[in-house]
Chain A
């Protein structure tokens, strides 16, 4: 991967993705070989929105590469609550670290941050925009279970605001994948995502029900439908209930169907699915470590190569 930052999944070519996933495989096979690779480096964790899980995943991945982390802490206690702009905040933090991981509630925040600093920026979620490091671990999980070509993937739930969905759908267009989107009418994929999918000529279909396509799927990617997306609670309960799966639902699925979820789940996947061979979401979450190690390793390596070039000049 010859990228300085990871901002959106649309920036990634098939080669970029495969290079990171190959490295993730190497990391998973021999983590000890990577243990001190970036000793002395510092990664800044800048989470402007609560996220214990993604933050811990990056923290752990960094430490397993010998990288120290500095954490901005909770937004409430930082200067952000005093009204400092994101542009200023990242310019200051840039001085403390060799790379930044950014989670922010506004779409486009990571793009803006990357314009303001010269160290690598990883977008760990920008509003309802993108979450490309999640996508890399999703792809790694799919690849280890099925390979990444000649596949049929169903993505279900909140496709409008689900940033993991936006990134995954974009990245899958780099492979030979049929995509089915299953959601209530009000939570279909947004215009901007559909635009990119059409631009690539991707095979996509949209449905309101899972049942008619379930038996075609190799992968079912489930996302949470949030209460806040609905004007009233009754409407939420009625709609969300239709996009829940349990072990019985999956009896109609192919035996080797892989069920994924970016987690945390609430009740969209019943606990009885955990006992089936379909359940892959915990494996998926664990894949965050080798994939984020491979990603950080790649970005820091690229940044060092850039520094080298500048010195040569």
Chain B
């Protein structure tokens, strides 16, 4: 077993999100709505040397297995990420993220004049397009700046 695998396997039960682009770990936590208040262990490694990415971030969340929709949303800011589900210290599942068709309720629309920013009882909804996401309501396109619009 390599050092790398040892490191990811250190939690007992939960999820390890590996190969997150350097600097995005806190956005990953924000997307997942994790702020430590649940009482589960959360550890974050930032700027860890990586063969594939140069530098990567790594996020370990104990006692929690990510749902598919959570993984989908992660793909927008961490397209190279791998999701390791850990049970009893073993990685039981290892998946790459895939881009979803749409994202609901996670991002806020950057268009201040969009109806989703007008105190309506509505979740935002974005279509995933070639190089970004697009508001289903006002059609505004959000590209590299996605992380700035995570709504938590």
| Interfacial residues, chain A to chain B (CB-CB below 8 A) | 8, 85-87, 104-109, 111-112, 115, 126-129, 191-193, 195-196
Contact A108 B141 (CB under 8 A): no
Contact A195 B121 (CB under 8 A): no
Given contacts A87-B122, A112-B120, A112-B122, contact A107 B141 (CB under 8 A): no
Residue interface bits B10-29, CB-to-A below 8 A is 1, else 0: 00000000000000000000
CB closest residue in chain B, given A107? B138
Shortest CB–CB separation between residue A12 and chain B, in angstroms?
15
22 CB < 8 A contacts A-B: A8-B139, A86-B118, A87-B122, A105-B113, A106-B117, A106-B118, A108-B114, A108-B116, A108-B135, A108-B136, A108-B137, A108-B139, A109-B115, A112-B116, A112-B120, A112-B122, A128-B113, A192-B138, A192-B139, A193-B139, A195-B129, A195-B141
Point out the residue from A87, A106, A191, A195 that lies within 8 Å of B114, measured CB to CB.
A106
B140 within 8 A of A: yes
Top 5 closest pairs, chain A to chain B, by CB? A108-B137, A107-B138, A108-B115, A108-B138, A192-B139
Question: A192 to B122, Cβ gap below 8 A?
Answer: no
Interface residues on chain B, size class? 20 to 34
Contact A106 B115 (CB under 8 A): yes
The 0/1 profile, CB within 8 Å of A marked 1, for residues 125-149 of chain B is: 0000100001111111100000000
The one of A87, A105, A109, A126 that contacts B121, using a Cβ cutoff of 8 Å: A87
CB contacts (< 8 Å) of B136 on chain A: these are 108, 111
Q: How far is the CA of A86 from the CA of B135 in the complex (A)?
A: 18
Which residues from chain A contact B114 at a C-beta distance below 8 Å? 106-108
Please count the residue pairs between chain A and chain B whose beta carbons lie under 8 angstroms apart in the complex. Answer: 63
The answer to whether B101 has its CB under 8 Å from any CB of chain A is no
Docked complex Cα distance between A195 and B141 (Å)? 9
Q: Does B68 contact A (CB under 8 A)?
A: no
Q: A107-B114, A108-B139, A196-B139 are in contact. List 17 more A-B contacts (CB 8 A).
A: A106-B115, A106-B117, A107-B137, A107-B138, A107-B140, A108-B115, A109-B115, A111-B136, A111-B137, A112-B116, A112-B120, A112-B137, A126-B138, A127-B113, A192-B140, A192-B141, A195-B129
Bound complex: CA A129 to CA B115 (Å)? 11
B-side contacts of A87, CB under 8 Å? 120-122
Contacts of A126 in B (CB 8 A): 115, 138
Q: CB distance A129 to B118 under 8 Å?
A: no
B120 pairs with A85, CB closer than 8 A: yes
Look across to chain B and name the residue whose beta carbon is closest to the beta carbon of A104.
B115
Known: A112-B137, A192-B134. A107 touches B111 (CB 8 A): yes
Query: Contacts of A195 on B, CB cut-off 8 Å?
Result: 129, 134, 141
| Residues 51-65 (chain B) with a chain A CB within 8 angstroms | none
The one of B113, B115, B129, B140 in contact with A86, judged by C-beta atoms closer than 8 angstroms, is: B115
CB neighbours of A85 from chain B (8 A): 119-121
Q: Which residues of B contact A127 (CB under 8 A)?
A: 113, 138
A129 pairs with B139, CB closer than 8 A: yes
List residues of chain B with CB within 8 A of the CB of A128: 113
Across the two chains, which residue of chain B brings its CB closest to A129? B138
Q: How far is it, in angstroms, between the C-alpha of A112 and the C-alpha of B139 when the chains are bound?
A: 13
Which residue on B lies nearest to A115, using beta carbons? B122
Q: Which residues of B contact A86 (CB under 8 A)?
A: 115, 118, 120
Which one of B113, B138, B139 has the greatest number of beta carbons of chain A within 10 Å? B139
Residues B134 and A107 in contact, CB atoms below 8 Å apart? no
